[in-house]
Amino acid sequence: MSHYVLYNDDQAVARFDYAQGMIKAYEPVHGDLLPMQIRAASADGFTSWIRERAIDLNTVQHRNLVSDMLGSRDKVHLALMTHMFSISDTFTCFEEGEFIPRSLLCNPKEHEAVSDYVLLTSDTSLRNAALITPNVSTDGSFTKTWKYEDGEWWLYKLQSAEATRSEVEISKVLRDCGWDAAEYRYIGSYRKRIKSRNFLGEHEFFEPYDSFRYAFSDISEDEDIVMSNISVLGEACRTAWKRILLADALFLNGDRHMRNFGVIRSTKTGEVLRLAPNFDNNQAYRGNPGGRYSAAMLRLYWKAADDEDRANLRQLLDACEKNKYLAEAWHAGIEIIHAVPDRKSL
């Protein structure tokens, strides 16, 4: 049996045992710094969390990466072999008596070959490469990998041209509003590659709502419950969430599942610092599975719209007015506003 320690940055936050391919025991030691999902979890619950941190096997590139580098597809084993390293949060694990700070665990230059492998599937010399890489825990529907550029981490993603353009243009108008949104940029002339800047600061980690909801007594996915729970975090978080919901409605984003939003927490205190910015809009607008825009989601949302939604929509439409690509969304929003006047004018 092997004894492991789970770290948040350089602080030990839990201990667990691993034997015969299974987590045998799990003991939190610093609950305030743990993800809410595993703050009071059993060994089985902790195992589920670990499995989410393994190399994603949905894409051919990642499956090939696993075969070439690790030789195993067991998700718990994969996560332990890579020390659970991730760019989006600050958790790592080591066998008891061993520890390497995150700043030393991944040398970006040494892992450029891994990024190229994921993006190009052209590098065949990875058997001798180091295993600790921020690329290994990147999941989702599209091929992704982290790359280090000019002192910052950027998440590269391969997807369709419409998904890429929708994501970039939506990000632009959200940021033009002064709303908190991840920054996206095109890569190359064909515009089927996109990159987004890591939105975490020093000593911060992202916790998706799917995990953070365990901080509340009601963990259901009911929209009213989610709104109530987020509102408990303060006015700034509530306002940010309302803006995300409105943007999703206007831009027909039906992919806001519980891992596509969350909170940013302090690695020092565990406190919630803010709601994570609006990110992952590659299945919105014309990037949606149907390939065309519809105002149906906005019309449905507008049935329960309040004065705050109306003010937010006007601000968002002002930012969209000069964006030719988002013209269909702009026209849909203008039509909604004219069809249902502000309450103050009634």
Return the CATH number at 336.
1.10.1070
- Label the pairing between strands 262-266 and 193-197: unpaired
Choice between 85 and 213, residue whose per-residue pLDDT is larger:
213
Residue-level pLDDT at 65 = 64
Answer yes or no: is 286 within a domain: yes
Per-residue confidence band for 344, with pLDDT thresholds at 50, 70 and 90: very low
Residue 192 is assigned to a structural domain of this protein: no
Q: Token pair 């602080």 is at which residue?
A: 11
- The lowest-confidence range among 50-54, 62-66, 104-108, 132-136 is 132-136
Please check whether residues 17 and 130 belong to one and the same domain: yes
Question: Same domain for 109 and 214?
Answer: no
Task: Name the token pair of 102.
Answer: 């995150």
Q: What is the pLDDT of residue 86?
A: 86
pLDDT at 144: 82
pLDDT, mean over the chain: 88
- 163-187 tens-digit pLDDT: 999 999 999 999 999 999 999 999 8
With beta carbons less than 8 A apart as the criterion, state whether 274 and 237 touch: yes
- For residue 131, give Cα distances in angstroms to 55, 80, 218, 243: 11, 11, 39, 40
Is residue 148 assigned to a domain?
A: no
From residue 9, give the alpha-carbon distance in Å to each of 85, 205, 212, 270, 346: 11, 10, 19, 12, 55
CB distance 29 to 11 below 8 Å? no
pLDDT band, very low/low/confident/very high, at 57 (cuts 50, 70, 90): low
CB-based contact 27:14 (threshold 8 Å): yes
Predicted confidence (pLDDT) at residue 191 exceeds the cutoff of 70: yes
Same-domain pairing of 176 and 325: yes
Q: What is the spatial distance between Cα 221 and Cα 208, in angstroms, rounded to a whole number?
A: 13
Residues near 105 by beta carbon (within 8 Å), at least 6 away in sequence? 83, 85, 92, 132
Q: What is the mean pLDDT of residues 245-249?
A: 98
Contact 279, 260 (CB under 8 A): yes
Query: Which range marks the domain in which residue 215 is found?
Result: 161-182+199-345
Tens of pLDDT along 201-241?
999 999 999 999 999 999 999 999 999 999 999 999 999 99
Q: How many domains does the chain have?
A: 2
Same domain, 84 and 117: yes
Looking at the structure, do residues 218 and 75 belong to the same domain, yes or no? no
**Domain C-terminal end among 77, 110, 142:** 142
pLDDT at 139: 60
Question: How much is the pLDDT for 258?
Answer: 94
pLDDT bin (cut points 50, 70, 90) of residue 346 is very low
Asked if the model's pLDDT at residue 108 lies above 90, the reply is no
Q: Per residue in 123-144, pLDDT tens?
A: 455 445 555 666 655 666 677 8
pLDDT at residue 264 greater than cutoff 60: yes
Q: Which of 272, 280, 281 is nearest to 230 (CA)?
A: 272
- 49 with 87, same domain: the answer is yes
Output the pLDDT for position 142: 73
Span 292-303, average pLDDT: 96
What distances in angstroms separate CA 301 from CA 204, 244, 289, 329, 342, one per listed residue?
33, 12, 20, 14, 15
28 and 102: one domain? Answer: yes
Domain-embedded: residue 28: yes
The full DSSP string for 243-291 is HHHHHHHHTT-----TTSSEEEEETTT--EEEEPPB---TTSGGGSTTS
- Sequence-separated (6 or more) residues with CB below 8 Å from residue 219: 213
What is the rounded average pLDDT of the residues 30-59? 88
**Residue 301, token pair as written in the block:** 């949302």
Q: Count CA within 13 A, CB hemisphere, residue 136.
A: 30
Q: Which amino acid is at 69?
A: M
